[in-house]
Amino acid sequence: MGERYPDTVEVGGSIPPAPTNFVLQDGGAIGIRRSKLPMRSDDSARVNDQINVPEVRVVDGEGGQLGIMSIEEALEQSLEAGMDLVEVSPKSKPPVCRMMDFGKYKYQQSKKQHAARQNQKTIHLKEVKMKPKIEEHDFQFKVRNALRFLEEGDKVKVNIMFFGRMMAHKDLGLVLMEKFENAIGEAGIVEQPVRNEGRSMFMIMAPPKKK
């Protein structure tokens, strides 16, 4: 088996403008024109004239191995193919470069990143407040709310508030917390155990980890 080389390139931080200009029409790229790139940032890929090594190993646009050649020859071949020469493995000896439409590549990567951000779930911390002496129907109402929050992927802060003489009976709060945890069952896990904070006692529950 021959040595495999990456067919993608990490592009991060301050990204230089695309080395090709193109106009999208009915989903395709037309009017491709090479343009000179500005100086790159240290964490971006070197493209075309930015690659300042004497020789490179070249992979064509289909993943085929073209072998080791001088950087001048590699740039000429990529130009003839209407593609950019992108350094995908700079630490190899010699560095590995791949022919690709770098502008189109970055456009596709941008679309993927945008789609990933759209699909990201924002986790909220919802709160359920109770008193140490709570009626059973009120307790069950609080449990149902917590179950709904956990099912939606949010975390739940279970908060018991103490007032007046009840400050001397925080043991009732511990009993209530244990009852609440048992009522939630496998629908949630205790992410932060019970803590006292001023006139309140709380714990934080989270959705169970997916297997």
> What pLDDT is stored for residue 211 in this prediction?
64
The confidence score (pLDDT) of residue 28 equals: 45
Res. 105: pLDDT tops 70: yes
pLDDT of amino acid 80? 87
Locus of tokens 């950087």: 71
Could you read off the pLDDT of 150-175 as tens digits, one per residue? 998 899 999 999 988 888 888 899 99
Q: Which CATH class is domain 125-206?
A: alpha beta
> Which percentage of the chain shows pLDDT scores above 70?
77
Could you tell me the pTM of the whole model?
0.45
Q: How many CB atoms lie within 10 A of CB 75?
A: 19
Question: How far is C-alpha 19 from the geometric centre of its chain's CA atoms?
Answer: 26
User: CA 17 to CA 39: how far, in whole Å?
Assistant: 10
Domain ranges of the chain: 20-118, 125-206
Question: Which architecture characterizes domain 20-118 according to CATH?
Answer: Roll (3.10)
What is the spatial distance between Cα 147 and Cα 140, in angstroms, rounded to a whole number? 10
The pLDDT assigned to 30 comes to 41
